[in-house]
Amino acid sequence: MASGNSLLNVPSFPEASQLSGQDTWQVFKDCVKLNVQVRGLGGYLDGSIPKPTSATYIYTAQSASPADSLFPSPGEWNQHKRMVASIVFLNCTNPIGIGIDHGDTAHKTWQYLIKKYEAKDKQCIHIADTLLCQHKFDPESTTMEEHKKKMKNLLKQLHNLGGTCNDHQFRMIVIASMLEAWKDYVLNVPGLFSSEAFTYLHRLYLDKVGCTGNGDNDYIKKKVAALVAQYLAMHAASTSSPNAKCERLTCVNPVCPTKVGHTIDRCWAKGGGAEGKAPKSWHDKYGTKASSSDTASLIDIYIGSMYSPKKPDDGLLMPF
């Protein structure tokens, strides 16, 4: 943003913040209000500083009044009024098309824009909300990263129209946008925020669809590993609770050759919590099978753990 300390410098907003229509109104509105307020000219935008007249203004031998003075001289009032009007007018991509006149006062122009863009057309909000909720991910025509951008753009469009959707609601909409075939993998997505949901879904996409390798993939895998580990730790704590009823322990590690008698946190097979700690006799008997390269991913281990036997009232809360 080009601006300076001088009151006469008219700031030029970034292109994305200039008023071009309904989609950019909210960000344009915020930029105008902040730039006007920092210059002490808010009264010229909201109309709280009336125009002084020669009959009411008392000319005194004093220096120029401050910008936020409620009693400016007629000359100062005109200068400040035009400054605020310029901030609004010059940061509209097509002011004539929008319907504003450079000769109008800043207050008149501002009230016109508020009436024009803040009517909150319920039909437009409903359409934007429907587009967001009904958008589905198609791995054959788009990547998960492109789907993420599309969903965020639809959310931004809804907000710009005056609609509401918090991060928790957006997270649920994102999860619901996945394929029906992935239903079992998105029933319990770890994390609390939409950003964590996207991280998990990106890793799921890499597992199910695959893609060309790049540096970001390892980062995504590590992030998902941390989320899955959080759940598995909670699961392990619940199964080892001293208050738990006696029951037959079952390991949910997909590659474990001996499922009964222990949990995944004590599993000696690859992917288990005690991987590599098996005695020699166990390794001689199951080593090849337990360390097979054809192992399930962290996603599969996570999904398997959700279906492990446990008490219905053990108090385990899924991390979502």
Q: Are 265 and 273 in contact (CB under 8 A)?
A: yes
Number of domains in the chain: 3
Same domain, 99 and 67: yes
Domain end marker among 79, 96, 117? 117
Q: Which residues of the chain carry a pLDDT beneath 50?
A: 1-5, 61, 212-213, 244-246, 293, 308-320
Residue 197 lies in a domain: no
CA-atom Rg of the chain in angstroms: 31
pLDDT at 204: 84
Same domain, 95 and 21: yes
Same domain, 38 and 101: yes
Q: Are 137 and 149 in contact (CB under 8 A)?
A: no
Residue 8 lies in a domain: no
Residue 312 lies in a domain: no
Q: Which long-range contacts (CB under 8 A, 24 or more apart) does 185-193 make?
A: 185/299, 185/303, 187/306, 188/231, 188/306, 188/318, 188/320, 189/320, 190/227, 190/228, 190/230, 190/231, 190/302, 190/318, 190/319, 190/320, 191/227, 191/319, 191/320, 192/168, 192/319, 192/320, 193/167
Residue 266 lies in a domain: yes
Residue 209 lies in a domain: no
Domain end marker among 89, 117, 145? 117
pLDDT at 223: 60
Structure tokens at 122: 């319920």
Q: Give residue for tokens 């000359």.
A: 75
Same domain, 42 and 82: yes
pLDDT at 315: 44
pLDDT at 310: 46
Residue 23 lies in a domain: yes
Range of the domain at 49: 15-117
Enter the DSSP assignment of 2. Answer: B
pLDDT at 302: 58
Q: What is the pTM of this model?
A: 0.49
pLDDT at 236: 57
Same domain, 40 and 104: yes
Same domain, 108 and 164: no
Domain end marker among 177, 192, 210? 177
Structure tokens at 277: 């700690």
